[in-house]
Amino acid sequence: MNLIFKNAVIIDANSPFNKQAVDIKVEGGIIKNIGTNLEADGFDVIELDNLHISNGWFDSSVSLGEPGYEDRETLANGLNVAAKSGFTDVALQPTGNPIADKQADIAFLVNKSLHAATAVHPIGALTKNSEGKDIAELYDMKNSGAVAFGDYNKSLSDAAILKIALQYVQDFDGLVIAYSQDDKIKGKGVVHEGEVSTKLGLKGIPTLAEELQIVRNLYLLEYTGGKLHIPTISTAKSVQLIKEAKAKGLNVTCSVAVHHLIFTDDVLTDFDSRYKVAPPLRPETERQALITGVLDGTIDIITSDHNPIDIENKKLEFDLAKDGTTGFESAFGALQTVLPLEVIVEKLTAGKAIFGLAETTITEGAVASFSLFNPNAEWVFTKKDILSKSKNSAFLKQEMKGRAYGIYNRGKLVLRS
């Protein structure tokens, strides 16, 4: 597919054409020419209102249903939604049934998604069946395409397992993901412990549950060396702890979920389970600290933490509902209500280097891997905007600024209709 993107503003700090409105010719998946008023000469022309183009966005935490929970989401539809939401690459959590803890499981996910425009980069389970007892087949999974290892939203109570994993993966430059939450302190909590939880009569999860586990995990990293990624942090103290660890030279990175940058626990007053997420939504002081952490570079990645949940497991009493919200379709539009465009693009692409993926830049001769978007579109997120099979979005009725058109990746153009 040979294309020319007309009058597109490039957002790429490493490109000589950054912030310039240009035409981009793509031939055979390679950027052939960048300039103004280029002749189409047989190329298919792509013209979109206020078109902006950046390097392809990478989502570092994505859950889909397949295999095992296709009623929640299939690989095919999930990747199509990702593409139409602007994501060229996703790191897929090991949340299927069976859990991806073996070489064959990783190979299945890679092979099943080979022809999708959005590329899948599986995360292998750190422990067998994500039960936290025995380390899984990490090296074999790496050889099949796993880009990191972690047990999604499960915290290791056994510190020795994390210690051994951090030491072991150094032999093949592996990345360990450590979701950080002390389950004993969390107890039966379902929301942030504070004023809102008291008013609602819901059991609370103190910030201490996250912060104590981060302290432990950082001490282990300091002892072992290696690379550690702490996903979806949610408290001001967590930001400070990671900032201090980076200053000491530890190889630690972290992410924050879009919903933690947008919402506070004040939205819980109606007991709406769409807002039940892990870690829980926190007060405004924590939200502001997370935004500051993004802006000062402490937080490396922003993720949608896309997690489709079927209605039978989500539309329940708050205590019983599963954690999680879909996030692909709303990610970009929501982020632009709280962050500058250049920062958003940087945080949606920085994860490629952290997860060991090939990085690109928008320049002649480079591989074309683009996210296409209009940063000025203003709209309200409604049910018709949910393309995912499951409809558990926390962002319904939210005002949005900016909208993804789609992607060009792997020689394929996918646009939202």
Instruction: Reduce the DSSP state of residue 25 to 3 states and report it.
Output: strand
Kind and range of the H or E run holding 177: strand 175-177
Query: Residue 98: inside a domain, yes or no?
Result: yes
Beta bridge partners of 371: 54, 407
Count of other CB atoms within 10 angstroms of residue 311: 12
Q: How many domains does the chain have?
A: 1
Query: Residue 342: inside a domain, yes or no?
Result: yes
Q: Which residues are catalytic?
A: 305
- Rounded Cα distance between 229 and 125, Å, is 14
CATH code of the domain containing 302? 3.20.20.140
Query: Residue 348: inside a domain, yes or no?
Result: yes
Tokens of 356: 């060991």
Do residues 257 and 303 lie in contact, with contact meaning Cβ atoms separated by under 8 Å? yes
At 1 the pLDDT is: 80
Q: Give the pairing of strands 301-303 and 252-257.
A: parallel
Do residues 140 and 101 lie in contact, with contact meaning Cβ atoms separated by under 8 Å? no
Count of other CB atoms within 10 angstroms of residue 199: 10
Question: 174-222, pLDDT tens digit by residue?
Answer: 999 999 999 999 999 999 999 999 999 999 999 999 999 999 999 999 9
At 417 the pLDDT is: 86
Residue 240 pLDDT exceeds 90: yes
Query: Residue 320: inside a domain, yes or no?
Result: yes
Query: Residue 48: inside a domain, yes or no?
Result: no
Report whether the peptide linkage leading into residue 279 is cis, meaning its omega lies within 30 degrees of zero: yes
Ordered alpha helix ranges (H), 318-359? 331-335, 341-349, 351-354
Domain of 129, in residue numbers: 56-354
Query: Residue 391: inside a domain, yes or no?
Result: no
Instruction: Reduce the DSSP state of residue 416 to 3 states and report it.
Output: coil
Instruction: Reduce the DSSP state of residue 130 to 3 states and report it.
Output: helix
258 φ/ψ angles, rounded to the nearest 5 degrees: -55, -45
Query: Residue 263: inside a domain, yes or no?
Result: yes
Question: 362-403, pLDDT tens digit by residue?
Answer: 999 999 999 999 999 999 999 999 999 999 999 999 999 999
Q: Give the pairing of strands 301-303 and 87-92.
A: unpaired
Question: 355-365, pLDDT tens digit by residue?
Answer: 999 988 999 99
Do residues 232 and 256 lie in contact, with contact meaning Cβ atoms separated by under 8 Å? yes
